[in-house]
Amino acid sequence: MEHHGESGEKAQFRSMTEGTQEDWSLIAHDYVGFASGLPDRVMAHLNLLNGDFGGFPIDRLTHSLQTATRAHRDGRGESYVVMALLHDIGDTLGTFNHPDIAAAILHPFVSEEEHWICKNHGAFQGYYYFHYLGIDRNVREKHRDNPYFEACAEFCEKYDQAAFDPDYDTLPLSFFEPMLRRVMARPRNDMALKAMEATGAKYSVPA
């Protein structure tokens, strides 16, 4: 994978106790370059879901795109649509807890409500199929008193559970790419990034 903005120079320390300002300025410079490549790494990882059907009527990438397409056409904002696009990106590595992976990736870039929807969508999506697998379809009820309960139920009802239609006019990843770059252009409140920039390193996501 391409490493954005790497200088090729290396810090001199063999343990951090030997670290110098020079070392850390160099590392900071490389870090902001690497950080700005996040949207590219996310898209590459999302593409791993291409052709992965797992018995479903459409593959996991098309399901992700269709969930995002439905949210976009329903007038949702960009960070919501990006959350919809990435909500199942963890299927490959988080096979037993996939919503946690997407929620962690999205956390710096989306609202608290969008993060909660993503992190908990598995239990809410289960309302539509858990009973076929011998599981209580109402496990989502444990969240009934949460202020984001209805928002998460709505995400699953309108977009996620509805996004398995092979005949739906699903938008391609290229449609969502500029949106993804805008949403990931600046993490909210990222201490590490601020610290790196304090050394003079410049962070920006390519458009």
Nearest distance from C-beta of residue 64 to Fe ion, angstroms = 7
Q: Which span (29-37, 146-154, 157-165, 197-205) binds Fe ion, by CB under 5 A?
A: 157-165
Residue number, 40 or 160, with CB nearest to Fe ion: 160
Nearest distance from C-beta of residue 68 to Fe ion, angstroms = 10
Q: How would you class 159 by CB atoms within 10 Å of its CB: exposed for 0-12, middle for 13-18, buried for 19 or more?
A: buried
**Subset of 166-195 contacting Fe ion (CB under 5 A):** none
**By the rule CB under 5 A, 30 interacts with Fe ion:** no
Nearest distance from C-beta of residue 141 to Fe ion, angstroms = 19
In the shown chain, the binding pattern of residues 70 to 109 toward Fe ion, with x for contact by CB under 5 A and - for none, equals: ------------------x---------------------
Residue number, 114 or 160, with CB nearest to Fe ion: 160
Query: Which one of 160, 181, 184, 205 is in contact with Fe ion (CB under 5 A)?
Result: 160
Nearest distance from C-beta of residue 67 to Fe ion, angstroms = 6
Residues at the site binding Fe ion, with contacts judged by CB under 5 A: 88, 160
